[in-house]
């Protein structure tokens, strides 16, 4: 991981109904979306591991565009995100994360579907590892990936958060069909 051109990481705590999530961004884009109701340490430990020595600066104003889109998502008014990302990863991780962004709102795909999509059908376990390294939950929708048999599988935010997100999206689709 390189840290060039990253002089500060800005953060804020997004509070919306039952959701308390830490967000972080550089001047280039969103770098971190935390797990529901987790402490600040989730962000600080991640940041120190990924960007050692880069200061974390609380700045709700800089994070406002990201917070607005997440709130719209939680309210069922947004099905995809337009904010810029500044995530760092290997070429393989970036391919997986980009593939996740192609999963339509309210739908799910399996790990093997993602492996096939990126034309690496034998890399199902590596796809799982890359998904687990996704630093921007919700906005890069790794919660939409399930086991081949449709069962819920691991999620950095926990299976309860994954279930809530999937249920919220299903309800959003149902409301739009009325």
Name the residue among 10, 49, 2 with its Cα closest to residue 27: 10
User: Which pLDDT score is estimated for 6?
Assistant: 52
Residue 142 catalytic? Answer: yes
Give me the mean pLDDT over the 89-99 stretch.
Answer: 96
* Residue 167 pLDDT exceeds 70: yes
Q: Report the alpha-carbon distance of residue 164 to residue 174 in Å, rounded.
A: 15
Query: What is the rounded distance in angstroms from the CA atom of residue 23 to the CA atom of residue 27?
Result: 13
Segment 28-52 mean pLDDT:
95
Catalytic residue among 99, 130, 138, 142: 142
- pLDDT tier, 174 (very low <50, low <70, confident <90, very high otherwise): low
Q: pTM score > 0.85 for this model?
A: yes
**In 3D, which of 155, 158, 133 has the Cα closest to residue 146?**
155
* 22: nearest Cα among 36, 7, 6, 9: 36
In the predicted structure, residue 3 carries a pLDDT above the cut 50: no
> How many residues are recorded in the chain?
178
The three-point CA angle 50-139-10 to 5° equals: 45
Helix, strand, coil share (%) of the chain residues, nearest 5: 40, 15, 45
Question: Looking at per-residue confidence, does 176 or 172 come out higher?
Answer: 172
């Amino acid at each position: 991981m390189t840290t060039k051109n990253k002089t500060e990481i800005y953060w804020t705590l997004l509070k919306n109904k039952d959701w308390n999530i830490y967000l972080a961004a550089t001047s280039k884009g969103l770098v971190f979306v935390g797990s529901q109701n987790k402490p600040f340490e989730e962000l600080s430990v991640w940041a120190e591991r990924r960007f050692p020595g880069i200061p974390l600066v609380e700045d709700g104003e800089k994070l406002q565009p990201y917070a607005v889109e997440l709130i719209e998502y939680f309210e069922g008014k947004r099905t995809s995100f337009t904010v810029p990302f500044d995530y760092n990863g290997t070429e393989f991780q970036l391919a997986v994360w980009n593939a996740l962004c192609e999963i339509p709102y309210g739908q799910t795909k399996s790990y093997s579907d993602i492996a096939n999509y990126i034309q690496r059908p034998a890399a199902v376990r590596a796809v799982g590892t890359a998904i687990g390294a996704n630093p921007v939950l919700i906005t890069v929708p790794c919660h939409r990936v399930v086991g081949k048999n449709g069962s819920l599988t691991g999620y950095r935010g926990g299976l309860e958060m994954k279930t809530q997100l999937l249920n919220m999206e299903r309800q959003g689709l149902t409301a739009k069909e009325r």
